[in-house]
């Protein structure tokens, strides 16, 4: 049986909820395109930061990761 990294498992689980939590904010379409690139907690935080910045909101972290293209 394959062992799963807990950080990756948590990120995969949270990806399903992330879209609903950020619904109605600018940048959501880009986030949906990049959803399969989210594999860790740092990636989740970076994705949230990307959407928050596009909406003039305070970022949640300084985590590197998904960068808008």
Which residues have a Cβ under 8 Å from the Cβ of 9 and sit 6 or more positions away?
none
- The kind and range of the H/E element at 44 are helix 41-54
Asked whether residue 68 carries a pLDDT value surpassing 80, the answer given is no
Instruction: Tell me what pLDDT residue 52 has.
Output: 92
Q: What tens digit of pLDDT does each residue of 4-63 get?
A: 899 999 999 998 899 899 899 999 999 999 999 999 988 998 899 999 999 998 887 654
Q: Rounded CA gap, 58 and 69, in Å?
A: 20
* 61 C-beta neighbours (distance < 10 Å), count: 14
pTM score, two decimals?
Answer: 0.76
């Amino acid at each position: 049986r394959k062992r799963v990294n807990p950080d990756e498992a948590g990120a995969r689980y949270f990806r399903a909820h992330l879209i609903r939590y950020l619904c109605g904010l600018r940048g959501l379409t880009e986030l949906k395109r990049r959803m399969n690139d989210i594999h860790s907690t740092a990636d989740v935080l970076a994705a949230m930061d990307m959407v928050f910045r596009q909406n003039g909101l305070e970022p949640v972290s300084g985590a590197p990761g998904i960068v808008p293209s």
